[in-house]
Amino acid sequence: MGIVKHRKIWYTISGLLVLVSLFSIFYFGLNLSIEFTGGSLLEAEYQNSRPETAIIQNKISELKLGNISIQPTGEKGVIIRSKNLTEEEHQALLEKISSTGSFNEIHFDSIGPTIGKELTQKSIYAVILVAVMIILYIALAFRKAGKPVSSFKYGLMAVAALIHDVTAPIGIFAVLGKYFGVQIDILFVTAILTVLGFSVHDTIVVFDRIRENLRKNIGKDFEETVGLSINQTITRSINTSLTVIFVLLALFFFGGETIKYFSLALIIGVFFGTYSSIFLASPLLVTLYKIQTRKIKKA
């Protein structure tokens, strides 16, 4: 019962979280990967020891490739970022690096600006599309739970919770991008979309129970019904998320570099997704219901 009763606390926490996230997104900006901005990324590993970054920088600057960022990675590795390189420039770059020591090229990406722009556009469309489809689906699935709150509002509240769920990881990644050079790449977008799909799971489980309890007339009013429904489903909400978090932790620690931050984004998203479906989505339904009845009383 406590969860619905103390809903103002959760609203405050979530509100602050969203505000802080938005602040860090706008203040730090997003550290977008070359998949979105276009550019080149070369990862190399020196066979012996890695020379000083300044030495590599010096050598490469002879090529006049514009802005170059050199980032040491692991024991002997180095990641070099630059504008979109042609194959000739790529070869010239390799030559310059080899003049600083023998190395292996592990990975090279070069992405033209048009492809980057397209991907950005597609990502935005995809996020909007997922959100809209979820509202529609929930509205459809809960069409029979039309009283006392319309099914469309269930969808709307689920999406309100979703916005909260994705703002948090984006905000955290803005900070990680600023201080640890973590980039937002296409996998991050994938993670966000997956979080959208997953965190609505838990919300649906609670909504489903509210629907059932309303049908059985459990609880003396809407607020109590919602409170009871949350209490009845809280263990399964947490447990279903726990199993997902377990596998994600395994991915984060053992899954290798490629998907490390992908799993981190998912972990953050699933965590806040579970929080919001318990503490946000359903209490919001109650608030919405109260606003609605107040209006009716006034009228």
Partner 1 sequence: MLKYRMIAVIFILAGIALGYFDVLHIFSPDSIFAKPFKLGLDLRGGVHLVYQADTSQIKPEEIGDAMSGLRDVLERRINFFGVTEPLIQVEQKGILKTIGNREQRLIIELPGVTDVTQAIKMIGETPFLEFRTENSSASTTEQDFNKLFLPTDLTGRYLKKATLEFNQTTYEPTVLLEFNDEGGKIFAKLTKENIDKHIAIFLDGAPISVPVVREEIPSGKAQITGQFTPKEAQTLVQRLNSGALPLPISLISQENIGPTLGEKVLTSGIRAGIYGLILVALFLILWYRLPGLIAVLALMIYTTIMLFLFKLIPVTLTAAGIAGLILSIGMAVDANILIFERMKEERRLGKALPAAITEGFERAWFSIRDSNVSSLITSIILFWLGTSMVKGFALTLGIGVLVSMFSAITISRTFLLALGAKGEDKFSKFLWA
Query: Binding of partner 1 at residue 71 (CB under 8 A)?
Result: no
Nearer to partner 1, 189 or 278 (CB): 189
Q: Residue ranges of the alpha helices (H) in 110-221?
A: 113-141, 151-180, 186-215
The residue type found at 17 is L
Q: Are 62 and 96 in contact (CB under 8 A)?
A: yes
| 26 and 87 Cβ atoms separated by less than 8 Å | no
Residue 75 binds partner 1 (CB under 8 A): no
Q: Measured on CA atoms in the order 231, 235, 237, 242, is the torsion positive or negative? A: positive
Which of positions 196-225 make contact with partner 1 (CB under 8 A)? 196-198, 200-202, 204-205, 208-209, 212
CA angle 24, 27, 30 (to 5 degrees): 75
Element (H, E) at 87: helix 87-98
From 36, 222, 261, 262, residue interacting with partner 1 (rule: CB under 8 A)? 262
CA-CA distance, 22 to 44, in Å (whole number)? Answer: 36
Q: Report residue 64 as tokens.
A: 């006049």
- CB 200 to partner 1: min, Å: 5
- Binding to partner 1 in span 126-145, by CB under 8 A: 126, 129-130, 133-134, 137-138, 141
Distance in angstroms (rounded) separating the CA atoms of residues 254 and 243: 17
Amino acid, res. 232: Q
Which 169-198 residues touch partner 1, going by CB under 8 A?
186-187, 189-190, 193-194, 196-198
Coil, helix or strand at residue 44: strand
Q: Is 231 an interacting residue with respect to partner 1 (CB under 8 A)? A: no
**Positive or negative CA dihedral for 189, 191, 192, 196?**
positive
Which positions ≥6 away from 50 have C-beta within 8 Å? Answer: 72, 75, 76, 77, 78, 101
Nearer to partner 1, 174 or 266 (CB): 266
Q: How far is the CB of 12 from partner 1 (least distance, A)?
A: 28
Of residues 5 and 122, the one with the C-beta less far from partner 1: 122
User: Residue 213 CB, nearest distance to partner 1 (Å)?
Assistant: 12
> According to CB under 8 A, which one of 48, 67, 217, 258 is a site residue for partner 1?
258
Q: Which of residues 15-54 bind partner 1 (CB under 8 A)?
A: 35
Residues that bind partner 1 (CB under 8 A): 35, 86-87, 90-91, 104-112, 114-115, 118-119, 122-123, 126, 129-130, 133-134, 137-138, 141, 186-187, 189-190, 193-194, 196-198, 200-202, 204-205, 208-209, 212, 232-233, 235-236, 239-240, 242-251, 253-256, 258-259, 262-263, 266
